[in-house]
């Protein structure tokens, strides 16, 4: 057995397996630690072998303490070799012999990848696990605390401005983009029924009492128009009056009519509850209801809308709209001290303060983020598991084993060390028991 150890085992045991190419400092440190622990474990095997040889040489016919040392060293070698075989068999063939059930990781690489993918998606990407983790993070509060710092808000706006400016410059003169914007606007407007929306606008304006202001503006405008064109109306009336009616009579008739109209307009304007206004309210409510429910009015509204969308000037407007927005946004965000960027920064910090101070908003944002992330995790868990499995399957078998050994090999060397110590202790106890009782 000693010859076996010295002639065949030790060269393979002493030389640590070559780790895969390491590029990071952490991987290089792991490789050094692995090599160091392999040398320690191997040194203990060599020490046990040396002690065994020396004890065997001095062992006599009578049982003395040398026999106990020899038994302890012999069992320590057995434990060290057994655990060396077990650890080595995980990553390669011991002594390069194709022994069955060795080189387990290289042979079962694909199954390990599939198992790892299943483990991740079953234990890390379930809705319950993700939701529990997110609920303890307080994401919105942390984001608010970070974002309300002026420097952080500036950095966010600066990064967004750089990306937006780059995209804006790329798409500045792209005719396809202009056509796409035109198509999007047309498509969006085409799906929006005009008449019902106009009906809701009328109802909203009347519910907020804004229509009275509109009435008053219209009445004042009519009064101003009549006042500004009094001479024209007077001249027109005299021109249409019979020739035989004296001019003073025409003047008196015009003054009466003009005065009555102006007085009527002032009365309606000054009386919020005037019957004319009530009648206009009734008619407006009726029009709003018809705009929402009358199929004929709805159809007419759609025809008018389509005529507007199909007009050549509309396409020119949408294309100019994109160019104006792109040019204005690019100019506004290019300068670091521009008013636009400053306002965006202030808005971000104001939002951040609300996120920090408003618990109801925090709960709402956290619930919204949680629902999205949980949905993405549940929807993509199978794909993520498959990605892990396919990635591992694409690795070289021995390179995979070397990478895994680099991560866990240092800890596995303690199995060899413990095997040496436990084997020696077991050998001592067994030999002592046999000598005492047999």
Checking if the pLDDT of 26 tops 60, the result is yes
Least confident range from 12-16, 365-369, 390-394: namely: 12-16
Checking if the pLDDT of 53 tops 70, the result is yes
Checking if the pLDDT of 8 tops 60, the result is no
pLDDT digits (tens, 9 = 90+) for 136-148: 778 888 888 898 8
Please choose, from the candidates 152, 135, 143, 139, the residue with its C-alpha nearest in 3D space to the C-alpha of residue 353. Answer: 143
pLDDT digits (tens, 9 = 90+) for 341-383: 788 888 888 888 888 888 888 888 888 888 888 888 888 888 8
Q: How confident is the model at residue 326 (pLDDT cuts 50, 70, 90)?
A: low
pLDDT the model gives residue 19: 38
Separation CA 345–CA 352 (nearest Å) = 10
Checking if the pLDDT of 430 tops 90, the result is yes
Separation CA 357–CA 296 (nearest Å) = 52
User: CB neighbours (10 Å) of residue 221?
Assistant: 11
Separation CA 428–CA 67 (nearest Å) = 9
Kindly state the average pLDDT of the residues 140-160.
86
Separation CA 314–CA 185 (nearest Å) = 10
pLDDT the model gives residue 50: 96
Higher pLDDT among residues 153 and 328, named by residue? 153
Separation CA 363–CA 135 (nearest Å) = 10
Kindly state the average pLDDT of the residues 315-322.
70
> How large a percentage of the chain has pLDDT more than 90?
15
Higher pLDDT among residues 339 and 406, named by residue? 406
pLDDT the model gives residue 212: 76
pLDDT the model gives residue 20: 43
170 contacts 354 by C-beta, under 8 angstroms? no
pLDDT digits (tens, 9 = 90+) for 85-137: 999 998 888 888 888 888 888 888 888 888 888 888 888 888 888 888 877 77
Distances (CA, A) of 3 to 33, 224, 226, 287: 30, 122, 126, 109
Round the average pLDDT of the chain to a whole number and report it: 81
Q: 3-state DSSP: the chain helix, strand, coil percent, rounded to 5?
A: 85, 0, 15
Higher pLDDT among residues 433 and 331, named by residue? 433
Q: Torsions phi, psi of 21, nearest 5?
A: -55, 125
181 contacts 318 by C-beta, under 8 angstroms? yes
User: CA 61, 63, 67, 72: dihedral to nearest 10 degrees?
Assistant: 140
Q: How confident is the model at residue 68 (pLDDT cuts 50, 70, 90)?
A: very high
416 contacts 41 by C-beta, under 8 angstroms? yes
Checking if the pLDDT of 386 tops 80, the result is yes
pLDDT the model gives residue 293: 87
Separation CA 204–CA 237 (nearest Å) = 42
């Amino acid at each position: 057995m000693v010859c076996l150890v010295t002639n065949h085992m030790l060269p393979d045991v002493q030389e640590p397996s070559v780790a895969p190419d390491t590029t990071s400092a952490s991987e290089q440190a792991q490789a050094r630690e692995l090599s160091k622990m392999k040398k320690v474990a191997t040194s203990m095997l060599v020490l046990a072998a040396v002690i065994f040889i020396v004890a065997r040489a001095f062992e006599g016919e009578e049982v003395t303490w040398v026999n106990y040392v020899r038994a302890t060293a012999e069992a320590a070698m057995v434990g060290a070799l057994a655990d060396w075989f077990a650890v080595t068999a995980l990553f390669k063939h011991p002594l390069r012999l194709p022994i069955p059930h060795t080189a387990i990781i290289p042979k079962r690489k694909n199954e390990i990848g599939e198992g790892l993918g299943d483990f991740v998606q079953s234990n890390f990407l379930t809705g319950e696990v993700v939701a529990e983790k997110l609920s303890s993070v307080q994401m919105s509060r942390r984001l608010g605390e970070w974002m309300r710092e002026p420097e952080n808000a500036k950095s966010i706006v600066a990064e967004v401005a750089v990306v937006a400016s780059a995209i804006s410059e790329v798409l500045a003169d792209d005719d396809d983009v202009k056509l796409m914007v035109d198509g999007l606007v047309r498509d969006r407007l085409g799906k929006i029924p005009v008449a019902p929306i106009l009906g809701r606008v009328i109802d909203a304006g009347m519910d907020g009492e804004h229509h009275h202001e509109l009435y008053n503006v219209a009445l004042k405008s009519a009064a101003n128009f009549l006042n500004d064109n009094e001479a024209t109306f007077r001249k027109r009336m005299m021109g249409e009056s019979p020739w035989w009616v004296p001019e003073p009579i025409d003047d008196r008739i015009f003054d009466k009519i003009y005065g009555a109209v102006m007085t009527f307009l002032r009365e309606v304007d000054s009386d919020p509850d005037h019957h004319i206004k009530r009648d206009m309210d009734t008619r407006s409510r009726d029009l709003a209801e018809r705009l929402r429910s009358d199929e004929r009015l709805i159809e007419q509204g759609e025809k008018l809308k389509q005529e507007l969308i199909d007009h050549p000037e509309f396409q020119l407007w949408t294309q100019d709209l994109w160019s104006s927005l792109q040019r204005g946004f690019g100019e506004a965000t290019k300068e670091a001290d521009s008013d636009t960027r400053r306002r965006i920064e202030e808005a971000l910090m104001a939002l951040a303060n609300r996120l920090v101070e408003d618990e109801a908003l925090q709960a709402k944002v956290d619930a919204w983020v949680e629902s999205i992330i949980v949905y993405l995790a549940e929807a993509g868990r199978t794909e993520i598991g498959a990605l892990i499995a396919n990635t591992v399957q694409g690795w070289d078998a021995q390179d995979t084993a070397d990478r895994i050994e680099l991560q866990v090999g240092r800890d596995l060397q303690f199995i060899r060390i413990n095997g040496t110590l436990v084997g020696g202790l077991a050998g001592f106890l067994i030999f002592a028991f046999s000598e005492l009782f047999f």
